[in-house]
Amino acid sequence: MATDLPNDYTLIKADRIFDGTGTAPISGQAVLLNGGQITAIGPVGELSAPDGSNLTVIDYGDSTILPGLVDGHTHMMAPGDGTHGDITGAEQDDVLLMRALQNARTFLHAGVTTARENGAKNKVGFSLKEGIRRGLSEGPEMVISGRPITITGGHFWYCGSEADGVEGVRSEVRKLVKEGADFIKIMATGGSTWSSNPLRPSYTLEEMTVIVEEAHRFGKLTAAHCASMQGIKNALDAGVDMIIHCVFEDETGMYEFNEPLAEQLAAAKAWVNPTLHVVQAGIDQAVQIGYNRGWLTDNEQISIDSANRSLDTRNESVNRLIKMGVRMIAGSDSPWGAFPPGEFVKEMIALTKAGLTNTEALVTGLSHAAESIAVGGKAGTLATCRPGDVLVVGGNPISDLNALWDIKDVYKSGVRVTRPV
């Protein structure tokens, strides 16, 4: 991997600069990179490097310079090809780590310079972060949970952090912190894991409260997977910082937008990561399988119809939450399920279908995502004295988010990433 020397300066120019905060793009400006950082942002013509330095100037023309993307929810160990989580979870750690490294590179090449890893098996998440930190492999800056904490037999039990009872969960949080977890991921309900039930809460309120208290005592944020309503309620009552999935379904699977719960969500200022596209990706894959074969079985059709209904209600609830002022962040949940790595833009586009403007959707994957995962001081916003994590895309993503597919260059810590052509 390339590194820059103290004397190396890179000056990048483009028609637009979007700083990630939501302020309208500005023109006539440039970004100067040196020493791994953004050294200056200012009018083209006023920025220069010291005499005798080695300056590279790149003019991207009709393009937009923006901060590197911040994906608030990844599972790097998964293939993203529709393989069930229980099958992935049964694989060997060394294979999972190799796949995680490969996926991390794909994320970086797609413009994601910071990623929050929501749970991998055993040591895989920790080793992934350490490998990238040492430069053994390239990837985004990783913010990791290590393993999600879950009840015995609960969602993601195969990752290795089953813990029950207040003393059990307390010691598991301490163990995760000791191993290097940046935040604590809690499975507040079951999920796709075969031995778990997504419609039921897993932890008691008492256990959830201890997990959150213990995490906060170490200065760590918490995020809870909530695939149904009682899980959301327990998580909010326990003081969880981020609600993931945030599905408004009761124990029978019936959708009902719960106004008081939504008000509690807004009042708590908890972040919501709705993970919309991962549902769409599953539908798309099932439809494609039927298309390739020429027909769908009755069961396949039933599950596609049910997933479509569930996506409609999730879009509706996210739309209502947005109107109530609940703060959303984009986290792809990829490469989980059938959501391949490197397609984070699809989650931002999905959020526009639920009611965000293009600018708001971009902010959910930039400054808001960074703030929500406690790295707002170094990622998600273009500003001086921050790491030189910068993305350049063709065209203008404010008028069309699909511009994010047209990657001109990715800079990580001030260095241009070499990507396959």
CB of 225 to Zn ion, least distance (A): 6
Residue 102, CB half-sphere, CA atoms under 13 Å: how many? 12
Q: Which is nearer to Zn ion, 47 or 232 (CB)?
A: 232
Contact assessment for residue 274 and residue 314, using Cβ atoms and an 8 Å cutoff = yes
206-214, 325-333, 369-377, 405-413 -> range binding Zn ion (CB under 5 A): 325-333
CB under 8 Å to 168, separation ≥6 — which residues? none
Name the DSSP class of 145.
Answer: -
CB under 8 Å to 247, separation ≥6 — which residues? 198, 226, 227, 228, 229, 232, 310, 314, 317
Q: Which is nearer to Zn ion, 20 or 154 (CB)?
A: 154
19-27, 120-128, 258-266, 326-334 -> range binding Zn ion (CB under 5 A): 326-334
CB of 363 to Zn ion, least distance (A): 21
CA–CA separation, 108 and 151 (whole Å): 33
Counting contacts by CB under 5 A, is residue 71 touching Zn ion?
no
Q: Which is nearer to Zn ion, 85 or 201 (CB)?
A: 85
CB of 74 to Zn ion, least distance (A): 8
Query: Cβ atoms within 10 A of the Cβ of 225, count?
Result: 31
By CB under 5 A, the residues from 331 to 390 that bind Zn ion are 333
CA–CA separation, 184 and 202 (whole Å): 16
Q: Which is nearer to Zn ion, 32 or 70 (CB)?
A: 70
Q: Which is nearer to Zn ion, 118 or 222 (CB)?
A: 118
Q: What is the dihedral of CA 80, 127, 222, 83, to 10 degrees?
A: 20
CB of 73 to Zn ion, least distance (A): 6
Q: Which is nearer to Zn ion, 310 or 359 (CB)?
A: 310
CB of 191 to Zn ion, least distance (A): 8
Phi, psi (degrees; rounded to nearest 5) at 247: -85, 120
SS3 34: strand
One character per residue 113-142, x = contact with Zn ion (rule: CB under 5 A): -----x------------------------
What are the structure tokens assigned to 14, written together?
């483009």
Q: Which is nearer to Zn ion, 138 or 333 (CB)?
A: 333
What are the structure tokens assigned to 23, written together?
């302020």
What are the structure tokens assigned to 196, written together?
């778990």
Q: Which is nearer to Zn ion, 34 or 74 (CB)?
A: 74
6-14, 156-164, 198-206, 330-338 -> range binding Zn ion (CB under 5 A): 330-338
First to last CA, the chain: 17
- Please, what is the Cα angle at 397 between 361 and 363, to 5 degrees? 30
129-137, 208-216, 311-319, 328-336 -> range binding Zn ion (CB under 5 A): 328-336
CA distances to 129, 195, 215, 292, 299 from 182, rounded to whole Å, are: 11, 28, 10, 43, 41
CB of 3 to Zn ion, least distance (A): 33
CB of 334 to Zn ion, least distance (A): 9
CB of 244 to Zn ion, least distance (A): 6
CB of 35 to Zn ion, least distance (A): 35
249-257, 305-313, 329-337, 338-346 -> range binding Zn ion (CB under 5 A): 329-337
Does residue 36 come out as left (phi exceeding 0), alpha (psi in the -120 to 50 range) or beta? left
Q: Which is nearer to Zn ion, 333 or 389 (CB)?
A: 333
CA–CA separation, 158 and 215 (whole Å): 22
| Residues that bind Zn ion in the complex, under the rule CB under 5 A | 118, 333
